[in-house]
Amino acid sequence: MHSTTSTHDSHAEVHPLVGHLVPVSTLLLTGGALVVLTVLTVAIHYVDLGEANIYIALVIASIKAALVGAFFMHLRWDRPFNLLVLVAAIAFVVLMMAFSMIDVDANSFAFDQGNPKTVQNYLDQNAKFAPITAK
């Protein structure tokens, strides 16, 4: 992709007031790549690779996200500060996710104790056989 996108669009010089004009070819290639990756990820889903499946799917999703961000959202040509804002937000989500998972993993015995009494009473009345209470 990089060889096609680094060529500057000639219109950018004609309209100095506008921001970066993303070339049509770049947009088409990005859209095409997104479609191909979507078909690919669905196809791989039908092959059972065990644990690896979800990681492959997430890697493909990340590539698609990077393509959308770089070209559709023209981050590639923006000031780096915009990218910093987005990456920082994602990084904090990942940080929160990591700490939540570490915490829950260490204390998960405390999460499977069943429902509080009021909740269980409600379930007993309204969804008698709901197997919600653990153990």
Residues forming the site for other proteins (CB under 8 A): 11, 15, 17-19, 21-22, 24, 27-28, 30-31, 34-35, 38-39, 41-42, 45, 48, 50, 53-54, 57-58, 60-61, 64-65, 68-69, 71-73, 81-82, 85-86, 88-90, 92-93, 96-97, 100-101, 104-105, 108, 111-112, 122-123, 125-135
Is the distance from CB of 83 to CB of 75 less than 8 angstroms?
yes
- Rg of the chain over all Cα atoms, to the nearest angstrom: 24
Provide, rounded to whole angstroms, the least separation between the CB of residue 32 and other proteins. Answer: 9
**Separation of alpha carbons 40 and 23, rounded Å:** 26
Residue 2 or 48: the one with the smaller Cβ distance to other proteins is 48
Instruction: Give the integer Cα–Cα distance in Å for 56 and 48.
Output: 12
Rounded least distance, CB 3 to other proteins, Å = 20
* CA–CA distances in Å: residue 117 to residues 8, 44, 114, 121: 66, 45, 9, 6
Cβ at position 95, least distance to other proteins in Å: 10
The encoded tokens of residue 44 equal: 């791989």
Determine how many CB atoms are found less than 10 A away from the CB of residue 87. 13
